[in-house]
Amino acid sequence: MKKFINSTEYLLDESLLGFAKAHTDIIKLNIKPRFIQRKNPTPPGKVALISGGGSGHEPLHIGFVGTGLLNAACPGQVFTSPTPDQMLAAAESVENGGGILFIVKNYAGDVMNFEMAAEMLDCPNATVLVSDDISLPKSHSIGRRGVAGTLIVEKIVGAAAEQGADLDTCKILGDKVNSLTASIGVALSSCTVPALGKPTFELKDDEMEMGVGIHGERGHETLKLASASEIVDLLTHKIDEELKPQQGQSVLLHVNGFGATPLMELYLIYDLASHFWEKRGITITRSLVGNYTTSLDMAGCSITLTLLDEELLTLWDAPVHSANLRW
């Protein structure tokens, strides 16, 4: 295993300390229990957004704490859910009369721990479960996973909360964005979880893994490595079948890198994916290309499409100032 670390035990804390120091203008770190929160307190009556999950997906979620986005994020160990005491401490610190909205990627551990925290909270609260990964069927026993679409949910609900939307409105809006968002990913390599010390799966030099999640798990199918055009064709068709955008539909197209894929390739993927939908008369109104929801050092990418209406577009465009997302 080749990584810049001192020990798997202190990796997370050393990294969080660096993150906190590098962004003292925007966030602050609580070490015990671990959470990152905005430097500026929540204005009275504003809904406070809290997300979290295993580490190794940076900049998700800690990089998205800031104005117009999250109020706090709770990082677990690598690919491991944070614990309810983190969420409770974060909630206590950022709640200011508007209640708490948890934004949770749909994984058993995260869901269970955020549920426990929600039960123990003594303030109004709600939870948006993100389940945008269409590589699994809707009927899957534990439901679909939350992947790169999580950022879209966080950004849009974050803008609404900033503008004064109440807890019910934020919850309904988050569910709406989730229902209008679909993602699917492909990997050219596995990733290496520090505590494991070796890749979580092996791919031959001429293979790729379709439908991967973001935790180094295998996808639904191992295929022969194909050209970028063929790969994008597979991914975009799947998303198109799921969301069935109509001619003239406005969309947000997000090409996300898993950590080790050069921007040059991500922009090439963006070019091909945008061609696919433009040919069908879909209007790509907004785009986001880069490494936003990563899986440590995995080579690969995902494509996410969100159907936009005027409300979602306005909220997407609203100012945002976090460590790793700004406009």
Residue 50 CB, shortest distance to its own copies, in Å, is 20
Distances (CA, A) of 311 to 11, 62, 263, 317, 325: 41, 26, 30, 10, 20
Residue 284 CB, shortest distance to its own copies, in Å, is 8
Structure tokens, 14: 């050393």
Q: C-alpha angle with apex 265: 221 to 246, nearest 5 degrees?
A: 70
CB 50 within 8 A of CB 102: yes
Residue 250 CB, shortest distance to its own copies, in Å, is 15
**Closest by Cα among 247, 220, 216 to 234:** 220
- Our CB check for its own copies shows the closer of 99 and 158 to be 158
Site of tokens 């001192």: 6
Q: According to CB under 8 A, which one of 188, 239, 252, 312 is a site residue for its own copies?
A: 188
What is d(CA 39, CA 26) in angstroms, rounded to the nearest whole number? 5
Known catalytic membership, residue 57:
yes
- Our CB check for its own copies shows the closer of 170 and 186 to be 186
Q: According to CB under 8 A, which one of 45, 262, 281, 319 is a site residue for its own copies?
A: 262
Q: Does 2 bind its own copies (CB under 8 A)?
A: yes
- Our CB check for its own copies shows the closer of 101 and 193 to be 193
Q: Does 22 bind its own copies (CB under 8 A)?
A: yes
Q: At what angle do helices 149-162 and 167-179 cross, to 10 degrees?
A: 150
Percent helix, strand and coil across the chain, each rounded to 5? 35, 25, 40
Q: Does 251 bind its own copies (CB under 8 A)?
A: no
Residue 217 CB, shortest distance to its own copies, in Å, is 17
Catalytic residue among 23, 57, 61, 254: 57
Q: How many CA atoms lie within 13 A of 82 on its CB side?
A: 33
Q: Does 197 bind its own copies (CB under 8 A)?
A: no
Q: According to CB under 8 A, which one of 103, 284, 307, 308 is a site residue for its own copies?
A: 284
Count of CB atoms within 10 A of residue 119's CB? 9
Residue 99 CB, shortest distance to its own copies, in Å, is 31
Q: According to CB under 8 A, which one of 16, 73, 165, 180 is a site residue for its own copies?
A: 16
CB 208 within 8 A of CB 188: yes
Residue 126 CB, shortest distance to its own copies, in Å, is 30
**Closest by Cα among 75, 69, 29 to 46:** 69
Distances (CA, A) of 134 to 20, 50, 149: 34, 24, 11
Q: State the binding string over 107-146 for its own copies (x if CB under 8 A, else -).
A: ----------------------------------------
Catalytic residue among 23, 61, 140, 215: 215
- Our CB check for its own copies shows the closer of 20 and 165 to be 20
CA 142 to chain centre: 18
Q: According to CB under 8 A, which one of 270, 276, 277, 316 is a site residue for its own copies?
A: 270
Measured in degrees and rounded to the nearest 5, phi and psi for residue 288 equal -150, 120
Q: Does 205 bind its own copies (CB under 8 A)?
A: yes
Q: At what angle do helices 108-120 and 84-94 cross, to 10 degrees?
A: 50
Q: State the binding string over 56-95 for its own copies (x if CB under 8 A, else -).
A: x-xx---x--------------x-----------------
**Catalytic residues, which ones?**
57, 215
Q: Which residues bind its own copies (CB under 8 A)?
A: 2-6, 11-12, 14-19, 21-23, 55-56, 58-59, 63, 78, 188-189, 205, 208, 225, 227-229, 231, 259-272, 274, 284, 287-291, 294, 296-297, 299, 301, 324, 326-327
